[in-house]
Amino acid sequence: MNAEATRAIDWARVRNDFPLLTREVNGKPLIYLDSANTGQKPASVIEATDDFYRRHNANVSRAVHTLGSEATEAYEGARKKLAAFLGVHGDDLVLCSGTTFAINLVAYSWALPRLNAGDAILITRMEHHANIVPWQLVAQRTGATIKVAELLADGSLDLDALHALMTPEVKLLAIAHVSNVLGTVNPVAAICREARKRGIVSVVDGSQAAPHMALDIPAIGCDFYAITGHKMCGPTGTGALWARREHLQAMPPFLGGGEMIKEVRFDGTVFNDAPHKFEAGTPNIAGFVGLGAAVDYLSTLGMDHVATRESELLAHATEELRKVDGLRIFGEASDKAAVISFQVEGAHAHDLATLLDLEGVAVRSGQHCAHPLLQWFGVAATCRASLAFYNTHDEIDAFVAALLKVRRLLL
Ligand SMILES: Cc1ncc(COP(=O)(O)O)c(C=O)c1O
């Protein structure tokens, strides 16, 4: 979708869909620039969750009464909506609490039974801890090793080095689609193609991609794709793992309990079919109803419109921030999502974020669950302004003005 079409959307009206964005913080209008951490929710998502509890609340897949059927229909309806949004079949989508759970599911059910000493897991320098630590746990228990693909100075992946690391002992590649710190968009389709050629199973962490771009998971060609609902306008505690059907069929359950079985006897249990085999216990039903509403909301906006809008906001914010003396931006890849990590010379990131909060501006400071990445840059912390389609050019200008004021106070 081109910029022309994006402008046809009334973004000021879109912003009005988000009740929280009208509040003040410390006596100033809130400028929320922390959407990579968690996204704000439109009224339709809040209402869908509220309506579920007010009118339909019951457990899923258990009771034959009317409310039980309504709850099951709503939950399974959300699975179908999410599947359509991601371009996949609902039977291949495991609903879970988020990307962290989704990656751990792959680690424990796919990797742990298969990997041995002498095998390797390939990750990259820019991974979130959720895509590092589960693999370290697998490595500790199997004797496998971890290999790390490094970056180029602009925060993009060194693709030649990555491909060179795809040696025969590598059994699994775990890679972010979009970096939560740098905003770098990795060419995951090309990377997964190379992995597949070499018989390497690929796991893509799509937490930061799903909120910002139209996704077609089959076109990426990975084996597993993880998303998290709360970053894409949905409630916290919602997410999903898509997997190739042959993996879901072959993998043992991760957790045991109700819902994931067909029959339980003391001499053995018959597991349910995928994806239910991986959904033990009562799920976050109201949360998924809300996620279904979030998917409806984003689909009505159009993810291409969202992507174009956010790249305009990113361009404006980058241009304005570059004018600030002593400001360094981390991550300047040519393909970049609307995330800007920065430091101001002489000012600590936490001090900047604290003083910005007094001006009503919410940015994240710290290591962004990516210690190895910040170690590589040789910095202890950065500030991160992460934008969403509901932000405005005026907010960016106000943020930069607040940053200049704060900088004067600190230096
Ligand atoms: C790139 C990336 N991966 C994984 C996660 C973990 O997501 P969650 O905490 O929702 O499971 C995040 C969240 O910040 C993220 O940005």
Pick the CATH number of 3-41+302-410 from 3.30.1360.40, 3.10.20.30, 3.30.565.10, 3.90.1150.10: 3.90.1150.10
Mean pLDDT of 266-289: 94
Structure tokens at 54: 């007010």
Of the candidates 44, 79, 46, 48, the residue with the CA atom closest to the CA atom of residue 61: 79
Structure tokens at 336: 């970049």
| H or E element in which residue 171 lies | strand 170-176
Give the E-state strand segments of 244-358 in sequence order: 261-265, 268-271, 327-330, 339-344
Dist. CA 348–CA 323, nearest whole Å: 19
Mutate to test the pocket of ligand 1, among 126, 128, 224 (most ligand atoms within 8 A of CB): 128
Distances in Å between the alpha carbon of 46 and those of 52, 102, 187? 10, 24, 34
For ligand 1, whether the C-beta of 180 sits within 6 Å is yes
Relative to beta strand 201-205, strand 224-228 is parallel
CATH 3.90.1150.10 in the chain is located at 3-41+302-410
User: Under a CB-based contact definition with an 8 Å cutoff, are residues 167 and 176 in contact?
Assistant: no
Q: How confident is the model at residue 1 (pLDDT cuts 50, 70, 90)?
A: very low
Per-chain mean pLDDT for the chain: 96
User: Under a CB-based contact definition with an 8 Å cutoff, are residues 383 and 339 in contact?
Assistant: no
User: Under a CB-based contact definition with an 8 Å cutoff, are residues 272 and 296 in contact?
Assistant: no
Mean pLDDT of 80-92: 98
Structure tokens at 95: 């609903």
Mean pLDDT of 299-322: 97
Q: How confident is the model at residue 23 (pLDDT cuts 50, 70, 90)?
A: very high
Q: How many angstroms separate the alpha carbon of residue 207 from the centre of ligand 1?
A: 6
In this predicted structure, which of 101-115, 228-242, 259-273 has the lowest mean pLDDT?
259-273
Tell me the longest C-alpha to C-alpha distance in the chain.
Answer: 72
Residue 4 has pLDDT above 70, yes or no: no
Q: Provide the pLDDT for residue 3.
A: 59
Q: How many angstroms separate the alpha carbon of residue 228 from the centre of ligand 1?
A: 7
Q: Provide the pLDDT for residue 61.
A: 78
Instruction: Give me the count of residues in the chain.
Output: 411
189-215 pLDDT, tens per residue?
A: 999 999 999 999 999 999 999 999 999
What share of the chain has pLDDT > 90, as a percent? 95
96 is catalytic: no
For ligand 1, atom 9, the nearest C-alpha belongs to: 100
For ligand 1, atom 14, the nearest C-alpha belongs to: 37
Q: How confident is the model at residue 5 (pLDDT cuts 50, 70, 90)?
A: low
Q: How many angstroms separate the alpha carbon of residue 96 from the centre of ligand 1?
A: 13
CATH 3.40.640.10 in the chain is located at 47-299
Q: Provide the pLDDT for residue 8.
A: 84
For ligand 1, whether the C-beta of 56 sits within 6 Å is no
Mutate to test the pocket of ligand 1, among 100, 224, 238 (most ligand atoms within 8 A of CB): 100
Of the candidates 262, 253, 255, 258, the residue with the CA atom closest to the CA atom of residue 282: 258
Cβ burial, residue 255 (10 Å; 0-12/13-18/19+):
middle
- Enumerate residues 6+ apart whose C-beta is below 8 A from 372: 125, 127, 132, 148
Q: How many angstroms separate the alpha carbon of residue 303 from the centre of ligand 1?
A: 20
Distances in Å between the alpha carbon of 44 and those of 79, 224, 228, 239, 280? 18, 30, 19, 18, 28
- Coil vs helix vs strand at 19: helix
Pick the CATH number of 47-299 from 3.90.400.10, 3.40.640.10, 2.60.40.650, 3.20.20.10: 3.40.640.10
Between CA 164 and CA 174, with CA 168 as vertex, the angle to 5 degrees is 70
Mutate to test the pocket of ligand 1, among 369, 373, 384 (most ligand atoms within 8 A of CB): 369
Looking at per-residue pLDDT, the higher value among 2 and 13 belongs to 13
Q: Which of 96, 192, 222, 369 is catalytic?
A: 369
DSSP 114-163: H--TT-EEEEETT--GGGTHHHHHHHHHH--EEEEE-B-TTS-B-HHHHH
In this predicted structure, which of 122-126, 314-318, 405-409 has the lowest mean pLDDT?
405-409
